[in-house]
């Protein structure tokens, strides 16, 4: 209505509600069209419309009546034709007396119900009619819309904060990963600094798993297609696989997941119930053939490093085994200050036909999860009725980051189907062949996705134990360099990751460089420090800590590293 007020020639097309607001695609033809600079003018008109508290009301019309109302708008007529073909009800919504639109509703009672300041025009872009590049190019105006001004403000603050923390920008600035045009998009190359963080995170997950009785295994990244035909993945996911024809004309695929390979290690021996649970763990890359257009930063990549694990156990062991995984997930995410919300994704009780595997097993597994949620006193759990996978129920964990965004992170999935497809067995106490159940669980999910979340969660201010450089030694002048080198060597011997900045630059510049790289600590060395055998320590957020003996510095750093703070 505001657009039509300022641009009477505008032809509205489609304008749906989306997450955090709405957009509207409008054809301005060759006449004047707005830019972002016109947003204040449009918003002022929107506020005026609100202040008039114009009533919304709607009318059901026939297709012919609708076509007559939109005689001058071929887009709306196309929509009306489609609604007619599909036999759907056609409704027109009026705003006051003069403005109307083809719309399914619903609306508030009047424009006065919209809280002033709860919305904001956001950005403008080009968009093809119905997303098809053969059609006319339209102008898409995006708006943000919330219930209250407070919610809008909070969202805008979060977005601004998120922009500062964009992992693609920080990844470059902190020299963590890089992309090469020769290698291709979606294929990150991890530098020494980025690899250091990856390895430290991975070692941490492994240390938690080792405590829980996991064992590592190793598999190749390819397989004959036979494996996926038997596991059932070929039928479902063939088009997402990178396929290879070998020189011997065999059909191979790159693995998009690890479970069928791990199941082959399980199946390499006749297993006894005494061996169960068997807990296999492996951090390895999987590959999925995504469209290049979908690739950006680390959030979506072709080479995905999963910190994967598969537990082969009896149904009676499900609760304990899922509890062990939960323990690992809780400890891991707790270390970084993420708060977790579990979602119990279970069967839709009204559609039992959607699920594979016997009812008894499902009931046991769902009961195990319920008991576990109770045992964990997780009173914030979400009930995901009908959200189970076809192969089993699961627990998904949602993590809230430092700026309030929520990410789906780890999941614990029960699987009844693959053990059946791959004919896994064990010999029971009675000497009978029985089927084990599989539990899938990646703690970080993928290292790439965790890294992108983690970089944005910390804004690149990694805790000391994960900082590629833990401390920089900053001699003020050349005279202090020899002493600075000796400090560097002493710290290095204690396995502290230390850098010496002996460039011919002023101290101010050196400190700015350390800040730019988000180095947690730096130690300034001048005449006094050389004379006293000390350093003057500063911290990236705490500021100046003071002069201290090198032994005290080592104690401080090693304790902080050990505590993973």
Q: What is the contact surface with its own copies in residues (CB under 8 A)?
A: 175, 178, 180-184, 187-192, 194-196, 198-199, 215-224, 226-227, 230, 239, 242-248, 250, 252, 254, 260-261, 264-265, 267-269, 280, 282, 285, 287, 289, 291-292, 302-303, 305
- Measured from the CB atom, the residue of 225 and 371 that comes closer to its own copies is 225
Which of 140, 167, 262, 288 is an active site residue? Answer: 288
Q: Cβ-count burial of 334 within 10 angstroms (0-12 exposed, 13-18 middle, 19+ buried)?
A: exposed
- The answer to whether 383 is a known catalytic residue is no
**CB of 67 within 8 A of CB of 75?**
no
Catalytic residue (choose from 193, 233, 262, 440): 440
Nearer to its own copies, 297 or 342 (CB): 297
Examine the residue annotation and report whether 394 is marked as an active-site residue of this protein: yes
Cβ(172)–Cβ(297) below 8 Å: no
Nearer to its own copies, 230 or 376 (CB): 230
Q: Which residue number, 45 or 264, has a Cβ lying nearer to its own copies?
A: 264
Residues 384 and 376: their CA atoms lie apart, in Å, by: 18
3-state secondary structure of 450: helix
- 288: annotated active-site residue: yes
Structure tokens, 32: 């004047």
Q: Is 515 a catalytic residue?
A: no
Q: Could you tell me which residues come within 8 angstroms of residue 390 by beta carbon, excluding any fewer than 6 positions away?
A: 354, 355, 356, 417
Q: Which is nearer to its own copies, 231 or 411 (CB)?
A: 231
CB of 305 vs its own copies, minimal distance in Å: 8
Find the catalytic residue in 233, 279, 394, 435.
394
Distance of CA 94 to the CA centre of its chain: 41
Q: Are 519 and 540 in contact (CB under 8 A)?
A: yes
| Enclosing H/E stretch for 332 | helix 318-335
Catalytic residue among 140, 261, 262, 306: 306
For residues 521 and 544, give the distance between their C-alpha atoms in angstroms, rounded to a whole number: 10
Radius of gyration for the chain, computed over Cα atoms and rounded to the nearest angstrom: 30
Report, in Å, the least distance between residue 379 CB and its own copies. 35
- Which of 76, 120, 259, 313 does the annotation list as catalytic? 259
* 310 has catalytic annotation: yes
Quote the tokens at residue 471: 């401390």
Alpha helix (H) residue ranges in 225-348: 225-231, 233-237, 259-266, 318-335
User: Rounded to whole angstroms, how far apart are CA atoms 440 and 310?
Assistant: 5
Min. distance of Cβ 289 from its own copies in angstroms?
Answer: 5
N residues, the chain: 565
Least Å distance between CB 320 and its own copies?
A: 19
Q: Tell the smallest beta-carbon distance from residue 435 to its own copies (Å).
A: 18
Q: Which is nearer to its own copies, 496 or 537 (CB)?
A: 496
In the complex, least distance from residue 497 CB atom to its own copies, rounded to whole angstroms: 11
Beta bridge partners of 413: 394, 440
* Residues noted as catalytic: 259, 288, 306, 308, 310, 394, 440
């Amino acid at each position: 209505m505001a657009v039509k007020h300022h641009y009477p020639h505008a032809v509205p097309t489609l304008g749906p509600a989306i997450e955090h607001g709405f957009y509207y695609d409008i054809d301005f033809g060759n006449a004047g069209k707005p830019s972002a600079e016109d947003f204040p003018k449009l918003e002022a008109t929107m506020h005026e419309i609100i202040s008039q508290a114009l009533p919304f009301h709607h009318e059901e019309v026939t297709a012919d009546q609708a076509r007559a109302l939109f005689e001058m708008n071929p887009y709306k007529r196309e929509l009306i034709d489609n609604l007619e073909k599909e036999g759907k009800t056609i409704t027109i919504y009026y705003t006051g007396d003069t403005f109307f639109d083809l719309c399914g509703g619903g609306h508030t009672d009047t424009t006065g119900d919209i809280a002033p300041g709860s919305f904001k025009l956001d950005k403008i872009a080009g968009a093809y009619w119905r997303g098809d590049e053969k059609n006319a190019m339209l102008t898409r105006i995006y708006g943000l819309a919330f219930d209250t001004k407070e919610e809008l403000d909070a969202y805008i603050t979060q977005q601004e904060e998120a922009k500062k923390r964009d992992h693609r920008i920080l990844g470059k600035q902190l020299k963590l990963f890089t992309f090469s045009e020769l290698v291709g998009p979606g294929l990150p190359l991890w530098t020494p600094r980025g690899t250091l963080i990856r390895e430290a995170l991975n070692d941490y997950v492994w240390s938690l798993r080792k405590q829980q009785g996991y064992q590592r295994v190793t598999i190749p990244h390819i397989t004959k297609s036979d494996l996926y035909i038997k596991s059932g993945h070929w039928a479902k996911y063939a088009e997402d696989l990178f396929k290879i024809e070998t020189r011997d004309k065999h059909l191979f695929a790159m693995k998009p997941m690890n479970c069928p390979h791990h199941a082959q290690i399980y199946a390499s021996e006749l297993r006894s119930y005494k061996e169960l649970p068997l807990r296999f763990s492996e951090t390895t890359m999987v590959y999925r053939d995504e469209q290049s257009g979908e690739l950006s930063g680390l959030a979506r990549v072709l080479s995905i490093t999963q910190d994967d694990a598969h537990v082969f156990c009896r149904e009676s062991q499900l609760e304990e085994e899922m509890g062990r995984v939960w323990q690992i997930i809780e400890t891991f995410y707790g270390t970084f200050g993420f708060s977790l919300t579990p979602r119990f994704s279970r069967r839709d009780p009204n559609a039992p036909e959607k699920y594979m595997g016997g009812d008894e097993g499902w009931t046991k597994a769902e009961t195990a999860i319920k008991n576990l949620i109770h045992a964990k006193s997780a009173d914030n759990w979400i009930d995901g009725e009908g959200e189970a996978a076809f192969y089993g129920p699961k627990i998904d964990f949602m993590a809230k980051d430092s700026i309030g965004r929520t990410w789906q992170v780890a999941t614990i999935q029960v699987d009844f189907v693959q053990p059946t497809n791959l004919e896994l067995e064990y010999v029971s106490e009675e000497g009978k062949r029985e089927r084990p159940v599989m539990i899938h669980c990646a703690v970080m999910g993928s290292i790439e996705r965790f890294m992108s979340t983690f970089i944005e969660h910390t804004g690149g201010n990694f805790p000391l134990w994960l900082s590629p450089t833990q401390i920089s030694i900053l001699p003020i002048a050349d005279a202090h360099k020899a002493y600075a080198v000796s400090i560097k060597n002493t710290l290095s011997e204690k396995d502290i990751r230390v850098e010496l900045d002996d460039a011919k630059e002023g101290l101010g510049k050196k400190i700015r460089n350390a800040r730019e790289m988000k180095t947690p600590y730096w130690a300034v060395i001048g005449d006094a420090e050389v004379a006293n055998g000390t350093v003057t320590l500063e911290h990236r957020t705490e500021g100046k800590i003071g002069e201290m003996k090198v032994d005290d510095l080592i104690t401080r750093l090693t304790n902080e590293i050990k505590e993973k703070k």
